Amino acid sequence: MRIVKALGAAVLALGWAVSPAAADSPSPSPSDDGAAPVQAGTSFRTAAEFDEGVTATADASAGDYLYWSFPADAGRRPTVRATVKLPEAHAAETWQIDVYDGLRRRQACQYGAQTRTAAADAASVELACTLRTVRAWSEPWANDPLPGTYYIRLTAVGLPTSDLGLPVSAEVRVESKEIGGAAAVDGALAEPLVPGTAVASEETEQDAAVLSSIEPEDGWTSGWWSDRWVWTAVGGALAALAGVGGYALTRGSGRPTGV
């Protein structure tokens, strides 16, 4: 009877421990400090930095390449959304949004309208790209998303000559979903992929001149913790209780008789 009660308590503990970990964490709320950029960069090195949950804006001309950057941590699945407001009169235009990781490797969109054509005289066009879940570690030959700085590039492709230079305005926003232990791996990067330049100090040691200053609100995770540890610990406890219960049920209840 005691064993049955212990098993029941362990199952309840499993439900309490896993439920909050498995739930999706809310996306960061918009920043109230006015830090949202109002212009975009023209290359990777000049990309405008912003955080998740913040709407970045920029005024530009059709044909320009617009760059932004944001931090993405392990265990999260970012979604990039962009809205381009077009002038009143224009021809059909095709706009595209591309996302690159800290190594400037183009990351494929898991789903979303990454490329979309706006009909002639359409007021705006909306794009979206949901990346694969960011992994804490990956094989060198793989193209998996890794924690660090991510770059957004927004531009028009195949733009008619008549539309070159027309004024446009863009809005970009990034939100992410916490995936949890389902995407956990047995490893972690020593450092997130944040762009920087190595410079020699007076002691001939290598110091990092970081070119990107953005990071997640709660800092970069170490990559070792996930809710898989909860499942593993509770599973081990249940296995131990099952072993004790099996032994108690199968052992003999009588004393051996002497000869």
Residue 69 has pLDDT above 90, yes or no: yes
Domains and CATH numbers, the chain: 26-180+188-224 (2.60.120.380)
The beta strand positions in the chain, using DSSP E, are 48-49, 55-61, 66-72, 76-85, 93-100, 106-107, 115-118, 124-130, 148-157, 167-178, 196-200, 206-210
103, 115, 113, 117: which is closest to 147 by C-alpha?
103
Q: Which of 174, 172, 175, 173 is nearest to 60 (CA)?
A: 172
**Cβ(97)–Cβ(129) under 8 Å?**
yes
* Interval 78-102 mean pLDDT: 95
Largest CA distance in the chain: 109
**pLDDT tier, 258 (very low <50, low <70, confident <90, very high otherwise):** low
Which of 60-64, 73-77, 227-231 has the lowest average pLDDT? 227-231
Answer for the pair 211, 149: CB distance below 8 angstroms, yes or no: no
User: What does the pLDDT look like over 120-143, one tens digit per residue?
Assistant: 989 999 999 999 999 888 787 888
Of the segments 10-14, 78-82, 120-124, 234-238, which one has the largest average pLDDT value? Answer: 78-82
Q: What is the pLDDT of residues 172-231, one digit of tens each?
A: 999 998 886 555 566 667 678 888 644 444 444 445 445 556 777 767 775 455 555 565
DSSP-derived secondary structure letter, 122: -
Q: What is the Cα–Cα distance from 214 to 226, expressed in whole angstroms?
A: 24
Ranges 50-64, 109-123, 229-243: which has the least confidence: 229-243
The pTM of the whole model exceeds 0.85 = no
What local confidence, expressed as pLDDT, does residue 30 receive?
Answer: 40
pLDDT of residue 184: 59
The amino acid present at 249, given as its one-letter code, is L
Q: Quick one: pLDDT at residue 168?
A: 96
Mean per-residue pLDDT of the chain: 77
